[in-house]
Amino acid sequence: MKEFPHFHIKRMTPELKKLFQTLELRQFAPVYLIDGEESFYLDIITNYFENNILKAAERDFNLIVLYGKDAEWSDVVNACRRFPMFADKQVVILKDAAQLKGASGDLKGLNSLISYVQKPSPTTIFLIEHSQKKADVRTRFVKLIKEKGIHFTSDKIRDEQIPQWIQAQGKEMNFHIGEREAQILATYLGNDLQKIINEIEKVRINVPGEKELSAQLIQKYIGISREYNAFEFPEALTGGDRDKLYRMLAYFLANPKSAPMPMLVGLFYSHFNRLYLANFVRGKTDKEAAAAIGVSPYFVKDIMAKAQQWPLHRVEHCMLLLGKYSTMAVGIKNTLGDKELLKEMVGQMLE
């Protein structure tokens, strides 16, 4: 696993953990099918097959990488049927397998590999990478893979799970990433896991002695400004600093792509929902209140303080407004542009 120091077995799903445990024990199946929408894990598996199964001296003669868009199905079968040279095993990898053309010239090329999968070569380790989408589990081909080898599907991580995933990866890197910083990264980098890892690694390379990812490091090395990031916008509105709020509003009006209305509505709703819940946990310990609100205990005092400044009726008023603007933000009953819509929404929340 040395090729991927940020990715440790204990953070894998049970299925992926089982797969890597068998690979580490060199208990190889004759054929593997990996598919799904999350390419991050598929890339890790594929890289492992390329770099970790064969010794460096064996790869020149016994590692064959083919691409579905360029290879014929017969090329794949012939590569799998050949004998390894100066080694016990060879590795054949078919990338972008969904684009493989079959015997009849159609795009159902995997069906043309059925005869091989039925009787795979005992000296070949065959990896089929079916990226970007799942293979149809109802087909005879996939059923046969499950019978003769291993089928692994990499599902997309839901957007709301990304901050938690970022924090877990930071922990494995021995690089603490707080809840707020994870939210900032998720908001601005999206759900591209490899991009997120690359940006975190960029910070670590520049400041190898640091043990925590701060907002200042995010701004300096990733380019996301705390002063003008959408995650801080709801905080500015309820924080009482009108000058800061108006600076941020002016920035987002001038740079609408940095904070689209649907995203801002979602961030405002999450913020006001926390303030709403905070009204019902007064008198509880910080740990109990944090669990009820759904935040880290580190942030609970700040939320409770804001909840005292924003009474329940005012929070409910803003949440009702967000219900209205959430539909307008996607074009329903809306004749305003995003700039006017944002100004109107913020103005009504301040009334």
All domains in the chain, ordered by first residue: 9-153 (3.40.50.300), 159-222 (1.10.8.60), 230-350 (1.20.272.10)
What average pLDDT does this structure show over 121-125? 97
Whether residue 106 is predicted with pLDDT greater than 60 in this model: the reply is: no
Res 154: pLDDT: 93
Whether residue 6 is predicted with pLDDT greater than 70 in this model: the reply is: no
Question: Of residues 35 and 336, which shows the higher confidence score?
Answer: 35
What average pLDDT does this structure show over 164-173? 89
Question: Of residues 181 and 82, which shows the higher confidence score?
Answer: 82
User: Of 140, 152, 112, which Cα lies nearest the Cα of 31?
Assistant: 152
Whether residue 107 is predicted with pLDDT greater than 60 in this model: the reply is: no
Token pair listed for 131: 């990226």
* Residue 1 pLDDT class (50, 70, 90 cuts): very low
Whether residue 53 is predicted with pLDDT greater than 90 in this model: the reply is: yes
Res 104: pLDDT: 57
* Residue 105 pLDDT class (50, 70, 90 cuts): low
Range name among 81-95, 181-195, 238-252 with the lowest pLDDT average: 181-195
Greatest Cα pair distance, the chain, in angstroms, is 79
Calculate the CA dihedral of residues 107, 110, 113, 118 and round it to 10 degrees.
Answer: -150
Give the separation between CA 150 and CA 306, rounded to whole angstroms.
53
What average pLDDT does this structure show over 256-264? 84
* 203 within 8 A of 221, measured Cβ to Cβ: yes
Q: Model confidence over 126-157: pLDDT tens digits?
A: 999 998 889 888 999 999 999 999 999 999 88
Res 92: pLDDT: 98
Range name among 177-191, 262-276, 320-334 with the lowest pLDDT average: 177-191
* 104 within 8 A of 70, measured Cβ to Cβ: no
DSSP code for 219: I
Measure Cα distances from 5 to 43, 113, 169 in Å: 14, 35, 11
What average pLDDT does this structure show over 243-247? 89
Res 2: pLDDT: 39
SS3 101: strand
* Residue 11 pLDDT class (50, 70, 90 cuts): low
Res 103: pLDDT: 61
Percent of the chain surpassing pLDDT 70: 94
- Strands in the chain per DSSP E: 31-36, 63-67, 90-95, 124-131, 150-153, 176-177, 212-213
Residue written as tokens 């990896």? Answer: 127
Res 185: pLDDT: 87
Residues near 174 by beta carbon (within 8 Å), at least 6 away in sequence: 211
Percent of the chain surpassing pLDDT 90: 51
